[in-house]
Structure 1
Amino acid sequence: MHKKVRDVMTTEVVAVTADAPFRVIAEVLTTRGVSAVPVIDGETHVIGVISEADLLHKEGLREQYYREDYRPPSALSDHTGGRDAMEKAHGHTATELMSAPPVTIEDGSSVVNAARVMHEKGVKRLPVVDREGRLQGIVSRRDLLKVFLRSDHDIACEVREEIIEGLLWADTSGVRVRVVGGVVTLSGWIEHRGDARILLRMTERVNGVIDVIDRLEWTEDDIPG
């Protein structure tokens, strides 16, 4: 069934502490080849995320507003976004430079939910935390795509063994499964229409399944009109 974030996340995570200085953070991003790192407190709770963009505020605004004798217009300090950028431009530690509150995902969440959060928040990776907000790993878009790389054989085996044969209250001996390119076709017969619907919905939730084609026949319509 649906995998959890803990099943696909990367557990070897580079993080920085709240008091980490600008130079150390920049070095971590560069040497580790990552574009962002979580910021943690002494108990490994994730309190923020710092990215290349956060660091670039310092050099970018210094170049834009402080060359020679120029000073930023007063209106800038009245604008929320501008004020945030200015604060980061003057920041020296992770606490002053990070974006907070952080966008995180619990390790017990489904990969589907993680993908939804990434899309809604416009981020490419999420720090993974436990229920207390402590850092457990990090999950990226690439990690989420791994669930769609299963072979057709593996998908077919799971559908047969865990779904069809797992429907213990119904005779599923007449149900057949075919998987091509992640598309599952369920055909054959089953006694009740309600059980056919259950098989279809459960098959849709199997990791790696792209689509389900319903070719099942049933002998009794037990779904009220």
Structure 2
Amino acid sequence: MREPTVAAVMSHPVCTASRETPFREIIAGLLEGGVLPVIDDSGAPVGMVSAKDALAKLEFRGGAEIPGPFAGRALRARWRKARGVTAGELMTSPVASIGLSTGVRVAARQLTTSGLHRLCVVDEAGGLAGLVSRRDLLMVFLRPDSVLEEDIRAELRRRVHSGEAIRVRVCGRIARLAGAIRFHSSVDQAESIARSVPGVIDVCNRLSYDFDDYQYV
């Protein structure tokens, strides 16, 4: 199936920093892009600075407020960042990354299961090509109905017996299937295919069949 890749929805170009980028420039980058990827000399992402990382300096008064002896690991980690003055000292590392040609469904699963809000998108050489966020992935639900229709028809012709006989119409990202085909199992398969096209939000299946092949399963 022709599935959109992260390259089609990612944000690029993005503001970046090196490990040596000073605090003032970090803040400017955060205000511009929300997050600041840190790259090495080859352009590969090695860390990420977020507003949360920078706010540790306020939380702990620049590191003057020292956590007590029973402070947890996470609290002590934030305190150490409060004393940081460069991107290398503030960044969270390692970073989660994904390839340019990866499908949007894989990216969505990686983001939701990890709890992350963004992934670094890297090219074949490992260099930073962009960022893909949860918001970016939502763009697939704005794909035109005509494009969704084309994708569904192409996949039905390829995978379903008598798929050419299925009439497809998409309106408001809802796919409507109609027509008469031979097997009951093909009706269910056609609906599954339509539902799996990125951007389709629901399927109205009005297909009929001539032969119930499930009775022999």
Would you call these one fold, judging by a TM-score over 0.5? yes
Residue of 131, 138, 145 corresponding to 2:138: 145
Where does residue 25 of structure 2 map in the other structure? 24
Where does residue 14 of structure 2 map in the other structure? 13
Shift of 1:97: 0.5
Where does residue 191 of structure 1 map in the other structure? 182
Query: Does structure 1 conserve the Cα–Cα contact (< 8 Å) formed by 2:67 and 2:79?
Result: no
User: What SS does the corresponding residue of 1:165 show, helix, strand or coil?
Assistant: helix
User: What SS does the corresponding residue of 2:88 show, helix, strand or coil?
Assistant: helix
Where does residue 105 of structure 1 map in the other structure? 98
Matched, 1:114 2:113: no
Matched, 1:163 2:158: no
Matched, 1:174 2:165: yes
TM-score of the superposed pair, with normalisation by structure 2: 0.86
How well do the aligned residues superpose, as a CA RMSD in angstroms?
2.3
Residue of 172, 179, 200 corresponding to 1:209: 200
Alignment size in residue pairs = 215
Letter in 2 for 1:166: R
Residue of 90, 95, 101 corresponding to 2:83: 90
**Cα distance between partner residues in 1 of 2:128 and 2:115:** 21
Shift of 1:201: 2.4
**Cα distance between partner residues in 2 of 1:35 and 1:172:** 46
Deviations 1:138-191 (A, max 9, x none): 11233212111123233223323x123334x73334322232221112121112
Where does residue 33 of structure 2 map in the other structure? 34
Letter in 2 for 1:94: A
More deviation in 21-30 or 213-222?
213-222
User: What SS does the corresponding residue of 1:50 show, helix, strand or coil?
Assistant: strand
Residue of 122, 125, 147 corresponding to 1:154: 147
**Cα distance between partner residues in 2 of 1:28 and 1:173:** 52
More deviation in 122-131 or 207-216?
122-131
Letter in 1 for 2:184: R
Unaligned runs of 5+ in 1: none
Letter in 1 for 2:191: L
Query: Does structure 2 conserve the Cα–Cα contact (< 8 Å) formed by 1:2 and 1:205?
Result: no
**Cα distance between partner residues in 2 of 1:82 and 1:48:** 20
